[in-house]
Amino acid sequence: MMRVVLIDSGGANIGSVLYALERLGVDAALSAEAETILAADKVILPGVGAAGAAMARLRAHGLVEVVRSLPQPLLGICLGMQLLYESSEEGDVECLGRIPGRVRRMEGGEGLRIPHMGWNTLDIARASPLLQGVAPGQHAYFVHGFAAPVGPDSLATSTHGQPFTAVAGRGSCFGAQFHPERSAGVGARILENFIALEAT
């Protein structure tokens, strides 16, 4: 039986992620226990809030090195994706370093508000099993004021003032800057694709 574990990062979106998985027939567990996380087939790192507080919570539970070394497929959602990078401008925090790069404050632009809130299009940067069945230009739901720049690990991008990474992937580590659990069919498809991923 597939064991999916959500890391208890204290994020406000945990309940809705669990419910989104339940709708897909996945009974996921919520845990801050290293042993439970390490025994999972798939691991999800959700997150809402500030990078510093989230990293402090992971550190308090002794999970920083656990998440850094996880061999199984890992998906970071929203702040959880940002934590996968080396560092964040938000509080100048050292993060998990699973994906090279630094998360930066969004600049917005003429008539554009920060934080970026609402629906935006996904532009596919390169093929990935995570994005199977997701067409270029489909919409996802975003809520964030910081973002990862576009780079070699960008699977999909979006633009709000400037382009940023909407979906990241490096090896068995993936991130979605938007909220799949609030992104209707596109979000459900991405969660489904993640659950179906083969371990590398």
pLDDT tens digits, residue range 52-82?
A: 999 999 999 999 999 999 999 999 999 999 9
pLDDT in tens, 181-199: 999 999 999 999 999 998 6
Q: Which pLDDT value is given to residue 12? A: 64
| Annotation marks residue 95 as catalytic | no
23 pLDDT higher than 90: yes
| Annotation marks residue 179 as catalytic | yes
Burial zone of 49 (CB within 10 Å; 0-12 exposed, 13-18 middle, 19+ buried): middle
| Domains assigned to the chain | 4-196 (3.40.50.880)
Q: What is the 3-state secondary structure (H, E, C) of the chain?
A: CCCEEEECCCCCCHHHHHHHHHHCCCCCEEECCHHHHHCCCEEEECCCCCHHHHHHHHHHCCCHHHHHHCCCCEEEECHHHHCCEEEECCCCEECCCCEEEEEEECCCECCECCCEEEEEECEECCCCHHHCCCCCCCEEEEEECEECCCCCCEEEEEEECEEEEEEEEECCEEEECCCHHHCHHHHHHHHHHHHHCCCC
200 pLDDT higher than 60: no
- Active site residue: 95, 107, 181, 198, which one? 181
Q: Which pLDDT value is given to residue 14? A: 87
Q: How far is CA 92 from CA 55, 57, 59, 79, 107, in A?
A: 12, 16, 16, 14, 17
- Active site residue: 61, 144, 160, 179, which one? 179
pLDDT in tens, 74-107: 999 999 999 999 999 999 999 999 999 999 999 9
Q: Which pLDDT value is given to residue 100? A: 98
129 pLDDT higher than 80: yes
Instruction: State pTM to two decimals.
Output: 0.96
Neighbours of 36 (CB within 10 A): 16
- Active site residue: 78, 90, 116, 173, which one? 78
